[in-house]
Structure 1
């Protein structure tokens, strides 16, 4: 009992000492804070600097095989017409061609990006197609050609490097394998019926119908290709050596060109990494009657072996090899007839009132901060040793009625094609931003970038960073650095969306929505 009392008293004494220490520390902190304020050693200030910004046309975008790929046609009031086509290699399938083969169907299957919704009232699956812009109810032309241009994985001029493919390249078209003028996206395109006509050797009758659907049901584009072509160029060429290896096959059959055309419609982002070209065919298989269901050759018994029987078979050719695309733009169909002037002849001295930012071989906005601040003022600021608390660039959307605009833009070092400092230092804190901000009634308002670290480095007096030009482009997945050492920036964007922003040269020089650099800083009054 005595021991418990002693321990209790000991803990009370220790707690009292700690509490008194904390109170004393708090008084010390309060006194220090009062001293700083009263002495006026550091004074917070704000400065606004003009910025020169102008448009830069992007003639072509680099297209990687593992990126999502664009297919379709869309007309936008701000940017005119955009047509996107796909060029893709086809890899050799596991298949043994024979003289007795009969092709029932060859189906090119390209999955949509989609989201499964609650099933329909009749129990059938229901989907929403994702990553599609434009009018999905408008039909446009879709054609599939044999590609006669070899897609080389290595750069012919330097075989140590990979070959780069861009959106303005041309490809030689071979035979036409499919054409329609009535294509539009279809969320219900989840199955395909293959009519088997050659099981009995009579192509005039349908012997069976197979319902083809994936294990996980999802919508995809299913294009029936010309079976006569594949009979002539595949089965009839089985002894040519073209099918001895995948390399031989790719050199022989160089892939497909999937071409979209028209004056309006929709533009789809497709999962080409999962696309396939599937042969549905019949072939003679030697079968043992005792393992079958009956008399296969009609001789009255069921014990014959090696009976030739027409059998349904399938071979899947993947499109997992090299893939690229073709983008074609027509700005003459935009509502603003001056867009070509903005892009091809920008005012790089005084800046522009409108900035056109669009992906998929569109345009970027170049931002010249040094022209806005000036060399003389820059040296004066550096001599004052500003402590930068916050620095930002804000880009206001030109029209709040625009709805199909990027949810995010990206700021980078235009001169060196590298990440801006804040993109690397803040990449885990999500402070760099560039995400579209909206009004209370959900209309697009502005994009804001916090560039505090970058401005701190270029304004410091000792060993400052160079004042490089910056640029704004449409963001796409992969732009964010994965680590602080990831300094390179991919200055292309496959995202086809675009937005018009207010520039620096507005009608009213005091317009608060003009592009400007805002800095909050602290100076030492000693």
Structure 2
């Protein structure tokens, strides 16, 4: 009777979920099949041992998303995020005609914005809300863009040029020491340099046709748009093309080694930080030159307009520095490796050049075998992490964290089996596995993160030869397949040698309660298992 009743309930719930999902633009299979009462399933909880592990400098080249700016966090100190990038030629330039004159040089890089919050007014203008910006709104900073003097190789000579070259978060000094000449963004408009801020306003260009006199307006979403020094690019790019320096990309990358973005405080402004897709950026050089046309014995010279585009699709590196002189003192005082025997009371997750949490399940001798012998049917298994609200009161909590197999530096089985997706926001995919920030309905502040690790626990109980691996927990910018690949620590140790790429992209941090007895019972980290007993 119990089995029949159970099957009927499951069929009803599955039918409801199926019908409901038809109206969703993303798949949410298995999200909440087990409700608050869990269909009268039994519940048991187990202690979890968790400790902190700092990474130190970590590989940070060729990330999909990079931070830029200055962020002061009470828990994790002040992070300054600079950036280095190669530029590429989408088309080589082998000839420049006579009397070239540069009209404009503009660097453009789009910002992320929340399309669902964009408002279009009656006059056709748009109001945008920027996404992935942390810190005070429109906080001013000093931005300097230089030609880079640091050559970024594709392959590592130490490996006999067989492996990709790695670049690390702590190499800002290397780039700063070899920057070329004065800054390129020397426009008289201070918002492009000494008083730069991430501007949410759209860009509007109005032009009048010289023949029809029709006025047209082109509107583009917000982004960095800097006027660069025209004389400098006349010498380096136009004259360089005449000298054959733009004949191939290999020649060009050795000649013009890219851009270096340097962020500094502007007066007493605290600054803020944005996540940016630099690879969508480009430098557009507009110039005119003579065009000679000869008919018979008559030569006519006319001025023609030309354009050279430099894409920011070459090698890149995120350059991070942490300052703990006025904030983040407790975090800075933490040992490189926490208490591996009894666990730490709090887990400090910090992205970038930061720290991960290491978790150990079933630490009581014989505990795992007792559960295996019980023959339980595991319906659901969860890890719920509670945010230290007092510590995070004045900090921006990361929107997502990521749980993985720490021993083997790879995703756990529940990650792979979760096929849910979110077409509107790919960062919200894998909703069953989860790890997204849960917020309080009233305060809007973050409260918990939850992971479903049902299949991980099932496999651990089903197969006696399964290894009870440690689990790693990190801040994440995204958890798509590319983002969960591992990046190397510059100085590995006996406890850690690499961390997920996703954690390097996002420099935010959060403070979570761990599983020690000193933590209040309702906030303590535990493994929750819902199960049914065999008949």
Q: TM-score range by the shorter chain?
A: 0.7 to 0.9
- Aligned: 1:519 with 2:529: yes
Which whole-Å deviations, capped at 9, do the CAs of 1:237-288 have from their partners, x for residues lacking one?
4454322212111111111111112273121122322211111223112368
Q: Secondary structure at the match of 1:247?
A: helix
Q: Report if aligned partners of 1:395, 1:446 keep a CA contact under 8 Å in 2.
A: yes
The residue number in structure 2 matching 1:17 is: none
Q: Report if aligned partners of 1:356, 1:363 keep a CA contact under 8 Å in 2.
A: yes
Match of 1:495 among 491, 497, 506: 506
Structure 1 residues 522 and 328, CA gap change in structure 2 (3 angstroms): same
The residue number in structure 2 matching 1:187 is: 200
Which whole-Å deviations, capped at 9, do the CAs of 1:47-100 have from their partners, x for residues lacking one?
322211111223244435360222111212222211112211122355433451
Structure 1 residues 229 and 454, CA gap change in structure 2 (3 angstroms): same
The residue number in structure 2 matching 1:113 is: 112
Match of 2:67 among 66, 70, 79: 70
Q: Report if aligned partners of 2:479, 2:502 keep a CA contact under 8 Å in 1.
A: no
Alpha-carbon offset, residue 326 of structure 1 = 0.8
The residue number in structure 1 matching 2:158 is: 157
Q: Secondary structure at the match of 1:72?
A: strand
Matches of 2:2 and 2:234, distance apart in 1: 91
Q: Secondary structure at the match of 2:128?
A: strand
Alpha-carbon offset, residue 440 of structure 1 = 3.6
Structure 1 residues 121 and 265, CA gap change in structure 2 (3 angstroms): farther
Paired residues in the alignment total: 451
Matches of 2:282 and 2:2, distance apart in 1: 73
Matches within 5 A, 1:255-266: 255-262=258-265, 264-266=270-272
Which whole-Å deviations, capped at 9, do the CAs of 1:4-40 have from their partners, x for residues lacking one?
xxxxxxxxxxxxxxxxxxxxxx99958x99xxxxxxx
Alpha-carbon offset, residue 231 of structure 1 = 3.1
The residue number in structure 1 matching 2:88 is: 91
Matches of 2:323 and 2:42, distance apart in 1: 48
Q: Report if aligned partners of 1:365, 1:471 keep a CA contact under 8 Å in 2.
A: yes
Structure 1 residues 439 and 478, CA gap change in structure 2 (3 angstroms): closer
Alpha-carbon offset, residue 108 of structure 1 = 1.5
Matches of 1:497 and 1:125, distance apart in 2: 30
Unaligned runs of 5+ in 2: 9-39, 187-192, 208-215, 421-429, 485-498
Matches of 1:112 and 1:276, distance apart in 2: 13
Matches within 5 A, 1:395-434: 395-399=385-389, 401=393, 404-428=396-420, 430-434=431-435
Q: Report if aligned partners of 1:46, 1:521 keep a CA contact under 8 Å in 2.
A: yes
Q: Report if aligned partners of 1:192, 1:222 keep a CA contact under 8 Å in 2.
A: no
Matches within 5 A, 1:196-235: 217-235=220-238
Q: Secondary structure at the match of 2:102?
A: strand
Structure 1 residues 440 and 388, CA gap change in structure 2 (3 angstroms): same
Match of 1:313 among 295, 306, 310: 306
- Segment drifting more, 409-418 vs 445-454: 445-454
Matches of 1:77 and 1:368, distance apart in 2: 29
The residue number in structure 2 matching 1:3 is: none
The residue number in structure 1 matching 2:281 is: 275
- Aligned: 1:447 with 2:449: yes
Which whole-Å deviations, capped at 9, do the CAs of 1:199-255 have from their partners, x for residues lacking one?
xxxxxxxxxxxxxx9966222212222233233333444454322212111111111
Matches of 1:491 and 1:225, distance apart in 2: 32
Structure 1 residues 310 and 193, CA gap change in structure 2 (3 angstroms): farther
Alpha-carbon offset, residue 312 of structure 1 = 3.6
Structure 1 residues 451 and 100, CA gap change in structure 2 (3 angstroms): same
Unaligned runs of 5+ in 1: 1-25, 34-42, 195-212, 290-302
Matches of 2:398 and 2:479, distance apart in 1: 15
Alpha-carbon offset, residue 351 of structure 1 = 1.4
Structure 1 residues 362 and 121, CA gap change in structure 2 (3 angstroms): farther
Q: Secondary structure at the match of 1:348?
A: coil
The residue number in structure 2 matching 1:134 is: 135
Alpha-carbon offset, residue 451 of structure 1 = 1.5
Q: Report if aligned partners of 1:391, 1:517 keep a CA contact under 8 Å in 2.
A: yes
Matches of 1:86 and 1:314, distance apart in 2: 26
Matches of 1:123 and 1:44, distance apart in 2: 56
Matches of 2:522 and 2:4, distance apart in 1: 40
Matches of 1:481 and 1:282, distance apart in 2: 42
Structure 1 residues 118 and 448, CA gap change in structure 2 (3 angstroms): closer
Alpha-carbon offset, residue 161 of structure 1 = 2.9
Structure 1 residues 215 and 150, CA gap change in structure 2 (3 angstroms): farther
Matches of 1:127 and 1:367, distance apart in 2: 41
Matches of 1:215 and 1:520, distance apart in 2: 57
Matches of 1:499 and 1:121, distance apart in 2: 42
Structure 1 residues 83 and 281, CA gap change in structure 2 (3 angstroms): same
Q: Report if aligned partners of 1:473, 1:493 keep a CA contact under 8 Å in 2.
A: no
Alpha-carbon offset, residue 381 of structure 1 = 3.2
Alpha-carbon offset, residue 121 of structure 1 = 5.8
Q: CA RMSD in A?
A: 3.5
Pair member with larger Rg? 1
What is the TM-score when the length of structure 1 is the normalising length? 0.76
Match of 1:333 among 322, 326, 338: 326
The residue number in structure 2 matching 1:361 is: 353
Matches of 1:481 and 1:184, distance apart in 2: 30
Match of 1:323 among 284, 294, 316: 316
Q: Report if aligned partners of 2:96, 2:242 keep a CA contact under 8 Å in 1.
A: no
Matches of 1:471 and 1:322, distance apart in 2: 29
The residue number in structure 1 matching 2:380 is: 390
Which whole-Å deviations, capped at 9, do the CAs of 1:120-169 have from their partners, x for residues lacking one?
46543332222211113321111111111212222323333333333223
Q: Report if aligned partners of 1:81, 1:264 keep a CA contact under 8 Å in 2.
A: no
